[in-house]
Structure 1
Amino acid sequence: MLELYTHLTPNNVPFSLKTAEEIFRKFLVYEGSAILLGEVDGKPVSSCTLVIIPNLTRGGTPYALVENVVTHADSRSRGYGKRILDAASERAWDQGCYKVMLMTGSSARATLDFYERAGFKQTKTGFQKRRAHEVR
């Protein structure tokens, strides 16, 4: 799984397997969160993180956030990324979410076209604020 993430952020700061296991355990107890993993012949080829967020508007209907969407470079353009996003969306719909959101830091046309082919529309403006000294 960690090797797959190198195809998302090649210069990601590595950390220990023990730390990764601790983080993964948090996902297991964080209600509404999941890391979806697509495999082919036992090899991870695509993944995304899904978080279901409780909501005090829209009659209490939750919404979902998708992050860390990645497909192994050797497995791109085969539909795996779309399938993992479809699975995340289905899980969100099953949890009663009224929308699924994601943001991308990429402005590459191919990336934006991929998200549109996966059913996402660029209808909002995203903003972010990062710590002055980014923690990796």
Structure 2
Amino acid sequence: MSVLSPRVVLRPLTSEDYEDVVTLMNELTKGEPVVNDADGLAHFSELLDHEGTTVFGIEVYDRIVSCATLHILPNMTRSGRPYCLVENVVTLQAYRGKGFGKMVMNALRDTAWQANAYKIMLLTGQDRGAKGFYEGLGYTGNQKHGMVLRQVPPYKAPEEREQAIPSPQAVLLD
């Protein structure tokens, strides 16, 4: 834990931070709701308990306003040095531009280097304007090409799902 000022603390998150993290994840996913019940808390606890994973956050006046997840993964190449993946980087809109995202990302970097990781990787959305933020932290997009394969269908709002359900007449067989 790093006390950056009497009101700002950088620390690994715990299950007690769940409600604040749900708020952050809902802001990150923009319309794709995050499970906010016992199942959601179980998923968050599983993430926190996963070996090699740390969720870092910035707490301002007892509220988590920024967070990111670091996964340190074992590796066979590079003399067995681990590599790291960063996921779910988000700062509440009202707190952006104040350096909190940078503080969280620097904590992830320092933790990765302390673990002797040889690289840190992350993917960022193409439409969020975050590319410049990461470039300012030293990340580059010209060394590798990121690709994604998703198993789950894209999120549909409830009203869209209702339209996709066939009417009883459409499912009647001849």
TM-score for both structures, normalised by structure 1: 0.90
| Amino acid in the other structure paired with 1:116 | E
Q: Which residue of 2 aligns with 1:96?
A: 116
1:93/1:57 CA distance change after superposition, 3 Å: same
1:120 aligns with 2:109: no
Q: RMSD of the alignment, in Å?
A: 1.8
How many angstroms apart in 2 are the aligned matches of 1:14 and 1:34?
19
Q: Which residue of 1 aligns with 2:107?
A: 87
Residue 29 of structure 2 aligns to a residue in which SS? coil
How many angstroms apart in 2 are the aligned matches of 1:71 and 1:105?
15
Structure 1, unaligned runs of 5 or more: none
Q: Which residue of 2 aligns with 1:68?
A: 88
- Candidates 14, 27, 36, aligned match of 2:56: 36
Deviation at 1:134, TM superposition (A): 4.6
1:135/1:30 CA distance change after superposition, 3 Å: farther
Structure 2, unaligned runs of 5 or more: 1-20, 157-174
TM-score for both structures, normalised by structure 2: 0.71
| Amino acid in the other structure paired with 2:133 | F
Deviation at 1:28, TM superposition (A): 3.3
After the TM superposition, list the runs of 4 or more consecutive aligned residues in structure 1 that deviate by more than 4 angstroms. Answer: none
Q: Which residue of 2 aligns with 1:53?
A: 73
Deviation at 1:19, TM superposition (A): 1.3
How many angstroms apart in 2 are the aligned matches of 1:43 and 1:83?
16
| Amino acid in the other structure paired with 2:48 | L
| Amino acid in the other structure paired with 1:120 | Y
| Amino acid in the other structure paired with 2:59 | E
1:21 aligns with 2:41: yes
How many angstroms apart in 1 are the aligned matches of 2:109 and 2:102?
10
How many angstroms apart in 2 are the aligned matches of 1:129 and 1:44?
31
Q: Which moved more, 1:67-76 or 1:25-34?
A: 25-34
Structure with the bigger RCO (C-alpha within 8 Å, sep 6+) is 1
Alpha-carbon contact 2:66-2:90 (below 8 Å) kept: yes
Aligned residues: 135
How many angstroms apart in 2 are the aligned matches of 1:34 and 1:69?
12
